[in-house]
Amino acid sequence: MNVNRFFIFMIVASLAVVPALFAAGQPEADDAAPDEITIVVGFGAGGSNDLSARFLAEALGQHGITANVVNMPGGMGTEAAYYVSTQRPDSNIFMWAHPLIMLFEPAAGDRGFTIHDFTPIGTLASPTFAVGSKAGAPWDTLDELIQYIEDNPGEVVLGGQGEGNMMHFIAELILDPEELDYTYVGLAGGADVALNLTGGHVDLGHLSLAAARPLHEDGDLTVLVNTQILIERDPLMPEIPNVIEFGIDGQEPHPLALWAPQGTSQATIDHVTAAMAEIAQDPAFVERYQGIGIVAHYLDPDETWEFFMDVEENMVPRYKAWLEDYLAGN
């Protein structure tokens, strides 16, 4: 374990231990609802995963729950998930995670945990992604783009966020390379996609709607479709159609949910999820999420589990088959 990872683990451990020491000598209250929790984020500070967790933590504070956010980046979020999966049910340490961490990464290889090591608390955030085209492209809609690719095979270049991952898989669900002849280029991330798209180095880009919107408004690119899975039209850009409106099953399963170690008490689950349900109805909170390109959409524990299980049953097998073909060079 390197020094940075050691200090991160020590911070998380201290947040868990202090409440326990405070409660020493007090009567047992295993089923008591907590007034302090820790939310672990599997990515670094400043990104949408981190900011959405911190906004939630601040809102929970207004509902009597002190929430400490700890960043534990590594392994596309899986190191943090593994850590939380090993905690005691009464630790009040929760994981803030989407299907990429909970389902797709474990499907790609042994990560030391599965989603079945967790109990859902609730879903609250869903980032929206989009496909945009460079300024001045000879198409204005997704249908026109597809027609152009068919008429001009091998000409169009799509810049995506990495290769051989879920986002690459989604891009190929939207534009099936078995039917359309174009080139996919894996770039470093959303910022790199935006830079290459506005610079004219790629014709298409797969990036967050929050990043694409100001560039769209300035005429530096054109947003063609969004891929939000919980709603069709994102309030951030309600004029942009969803891929499902074109009959394309390419909606991205990015909703972020709060997860507790398996065996967490029902009192804890009820206490935190009730607060989340109220937070989702707060117009100021909804607007704050919208400002970072996230749809505030609450799903209770049962609905959260149903959503993730639907992804596990219907999308993960397709992803695994796609990944096997990709790694085999097919």
Find the mean pLDDT for residues 177-205. 95
* Inter-residue contact 67 to 56 (CB < 8 Å): yes
* Inter-residue contact 53 to 82 (CB < 8 Å): no
Q: What is the pLDDT of residue 330?
A: 72
User: 205 has which bridge partners?
Assistant: 132, 159
What is the CATH code for 129-252?
Answer: 3.40.190.10
**All structural domains of the chain with their residue ranges:** 3-127+254-319, 129-252
- Residue 244 structure tokens: 């499902």
For 251, residues 6+ apart whose C-beta sits below 8 A from its C-beta are 227, 228, 229, 242, 243, 244
Task: Provide the edge-to-edge strand list for the sheet that holds 183-187.
Answer: 183-187, 157-161, 204-208, 129-134, 221-226
Same fold across 3-127+254-319 and 129-252: yes
| Residue 199 phi, psi dihedral angles, 5° rounding | -85, -5
Mean pLDDT estimate for the chain: 91
**In angstroms, what CA-CA distances link 133 with 48, 77, 96, 239, 254?**
23, 30, 32, 16, 22
**In angstroms, what CA-CA distances link 58 with 29, 45, 68?**
26, 15, 9
Find the mean pLDDT for residues 193-208. 96
Find the mean pLDDT for residues 273-278. 98
Query: Which three-class secondary structure state does DSSP give residue 304?
Result: helix
For 172, residues 6+ apart whose C-beta sits below 8 A from its C-beta are 184, 322
**Does residue 7 register a pLDDT over 70?**
no
Find the mean pLDDT for residues 141-168. 96
User: 206 has which bridge partners?
Assistant: 131
- What span, in angstroms and rounded, lies between the C-alpha atoms of 198 and 134? 6
Q: Of 152, 170, 158, nearest to 250 (Cα)?
A: 170
User: 94 has which bridge partners?
Assistant: 39
- What span, in angstroms and rounded, lies between the C-alpha atoms of 66 and 249? 40
DSSP 174-223: HS-TTTS--EEEEESSHHHHHHHHHTTS-SEEEEEHHHHHHHHHTTSEEE
Angle (CA) 37-113-52 rounded to 5° is 40
- What span, in angstroms and rounded, lies between the C-alpha atoms of 122 and 272? 8
CB atoms within 10 A of CB 277: 14
pLDDT in tens, 230-259: 999 999 999 999 999 999 999 999 999 999
Per DSSP (E only), the strands in the chain are 36-41, 66-71, 93-97, 118-127, 129-134, 157-161, 183-187, 204-208, 221-226, 256-261, 294-299
Q: What is the pLDDT of residue 26?
A: 36
Give domain 3-127+254-319's CATH architecture.
3-Layer(aba) Sandwich (3.40)
Q: What is the pLDDT of residue 30?
A: 53
**Does residue 114 register a pLDDT over 80?**
yes
- What span, in angstroms and rounded, lies between the C-alpha atoms of 111 and 101? 10
* Inter-residue contact 307 to 115 (CB < 8 Å): no
pLDDT in tens, 9-39: 444 455 444 444 444 443 334 567 889 999 9
The number of angstroms, rounded, from the C-alpha of 207 to the middle of its chain's C-alpha atoms is 13
Find the mean pLDDT for residues 285-289. 96
